[in-house]
Amino acid sequence: MINHYLLLRRLAAELNEVLKDSTLVIAYSPQREDLQLHFEKTASVFTLKLNFATDFTLLTLWPEDPARPRHYEKQFTQLWGVRLLKVAAIAGERMLWLQFENGWSLWVRCFGRLGNVLLTDANQKLAGPFRRIIKNDYDFDGNLYTEESDFKKVINSAISENSIWWQKLPAELVTVKSDASVMLPLLEKAPLYRLPSNGQPGFYPDPPADAVAYPDVIAACNAFFKAYLPDFLLRQEKRRLMQPVSDKISRLEKKLAEHHALLKQLAKDSHFEHWGNLLLSAAHLHVAGSSFMLVEDYLTQKQVKIRLDPTKTVVENASRYFQKAKNQHIEGQQLENLKTITLYELGLLKQKLQELEATTQLRVLRKLAEKAQPENIFPFRRWTLQHLEIWMGKNAKQNDELLRLVHKDDLWLHARNHAGSHVVIRSAGKKIPQPVLEQAAAWAAWHSKGKTENLCAVMYTQRKYVRKPKGAVAGAVVVEKESTLLVHPAPPPAS
């Protein structure tokens, strides 16, 4: 009810009593959605603050002149040094009207997220809105509005037209809403309370015992401003900080599910080694040039049909199945390692999400956001180009680890004849767009001893053609079937 017409009507009367005949010294905006108006009256000073960053138009009045920030934007300079004649409520509207001696006016529209402060000239024509982003306010005409003079007339009009503000009266007043003569004294003098259930001030004829009473509307607005704004900003900042973390958790959980599915498929297809053994056990039955063999499985005593390469011997076909079994074992190890990394990263992100969720102070939340990301959340440098992930080792030991983790059909890159980082495009055999290949090659050249060359040769091939000799030093590999690309070395963005 903080922006309800009835509350604003009584607020206008209280503001008029305090600010009438005061002088507007300065109006400025310390932040994008904040406006401050500083008034002087004899020996007293007052600051009228308005905030439009939340779901409400928040207004507060303090008997103080706070220190001005170092940087601010001047507002409504046409009224600086001009005497305020009156603060009035507009008939049936959620609007305050500040009338100045030079004929100019300020109109405070308390429309929640669409709240605004509008400056009009002596002819009540719009001279400038505070929030220029609200395009509908460019058609504002002060001549369309009149100061409230007869409250009973406003109530009767609200009843007959079933106005929005009338519909939103508290439920406690529903029983008397149809009778203006009953409503009039009640709304004129009803005490103001804050209910713990919603935290907003409102008029309640019979408030509960735990309701908090306010002496006047200004005190209620000040209390709500002080309590609601930090809470809203905390929730807003939480959403901003938690959303990317939640999105990343969702992506990692999807990736983890893919790892589980692939491991399940590998477990289901773990028959290649057995087929190789069956072929060797029945080698005497092989007919040269055959594309398959029917072999009795000595474990199940059932016939098994095994596909063959007709150009190879039975021993060569068996070796091919043994190699497939070995590749499956390697792929399973890689998936287990990736699953471990993903689980570790998920744990850190979920811990961070819990820390953000549990924070109850905006200052602490911002410090938590500024805190550096945990190191080693992922063991390699990592980027995404056109939906393809690119991984890069940070040192020789990580280069070996990179080879051990990636898919056999991923594309591997390295600067030719130069020490440097291993780079892998996680394509799993899919076609890689040429711009992605060239960009990854430029990064590989930059992270090598050839980064100072104008053109650096970068070799690339599928991971299955890169092997590490037994006993070789960290990072040393033997490469087969590679191609070469000449690129200008270029630094990658932060990973």
The reported pTM is 0.57
The tokens of 34 are what?
Answer: 């904040």
Let me know whether 89 and 32 are in one domain: yes
CATH of the domain at 98: 2.30.310.10
**Mean pLDDT of the residues in the chain:** 86
Let me know whether 25 and 131 are in one domain: yes
In a domain, 406, yes or no: yes
The per-residue pLDDT for range 326-364, each reduced to its tens digit, is: 887 777 877 887 788 888 888 888 888 888 888 888 788
pLDDT at 14: 93
The per-residue pLDDT for range 93-133, each reduced to its tens digit, is: 889 999 999 999 999 999 988 999 999 999 999 999 999 99
Let me know whether 362 and 443 are in one domain: no
What gap in Å lies between CA 76 and CA 85, rounded to an integer?
A: 17
The boundaries of the domain holding residue 399 are 381-487
Let me know whether 302 and 353 are in one domain: yes
Let me know whether 340 and 467 are in one domain: no
Let me know whether 388 and 284 are in one domain: no
The per-residue pLDDT for range 47-102, each reduced to its tens digit, is: 999 999 888 899 999 988 788 888 899 999 999 999 999 999 998 888 999 999 99
Tell me, what DSSP letter sits at residue 378? S
pLDDT at 170: 61
181 residue type, one letter: S
Q: Is the pLDDT assigned to residue 459 strictly greater than 80?
A: yes
The per-residue pLDDT for range 184-207, each reduced to its tens digit, is: 767 777 777 776 766 777 776 677
What value does the mean pLDDT take over residues 427-444? 91
Residue 284: pLDDT band (50, 70, 90) is: confident
Which residue, 149, 174, 198, sits at the end of a domain? 149
The per-residue pLDDT for range 228-266, each reduced to its tens digit, is: 888 888 888 888 888 888 998 998 899 889 888 888 888
What gap in Å lies between CA 235 and CA 231, rounded to an integer?
A: 6
Residue 300: pLDDT band (50, 70, 90) is: confident
What value does the mean pLDDT take over residues 166-183? 62
CB neighbours of residue 197 within 10 Å: 9
Let me know whether 322 and 254 are in one domain: yes
CB neighbours of residue 133 within 10 Å: 11
Q: Is the pLDDT assigned to residue 279 strictly greater than 90?
A: no
Residue 414: pLDDT band (50, 70, 90) is: very high
Q: Is the pLDDT assigned to residue 176 strictly greater than 60?
A: no
Residue with tokens 């076909």: 317
Classify burial at 172, counting beta carbons within 10 Å of its beta carbon; exposed 0-12, middle 13-18, buried 19 or more.
middle
Let me know whether 390 and 308 are in one domain: no
What value does the mean pLDDT take over residues 413-417? 93
In a domain, 154, yes or no: no
Which residues does residue 385 pair with via DSSP β-bridges, in sequence order? 388
In a domain, 348, yes or no: yes
Domain count, the chain: 3
Let me know whether 54 and 145 are in one domain: yes
Residue 143: pLDDT band (50, 70, 90) is: very high
pLDDT at 470: 84
pLDDT at 372: 46
Dihedral in degrees, nearest 10, Cα atoms 135, 140, 146, 151 = -10
Which residue, 149, 170, 203, sits at the end of a domain? 149
Question: In this prediction, what percent of the chain has a pLDDT beyond 90?
Answer: 33
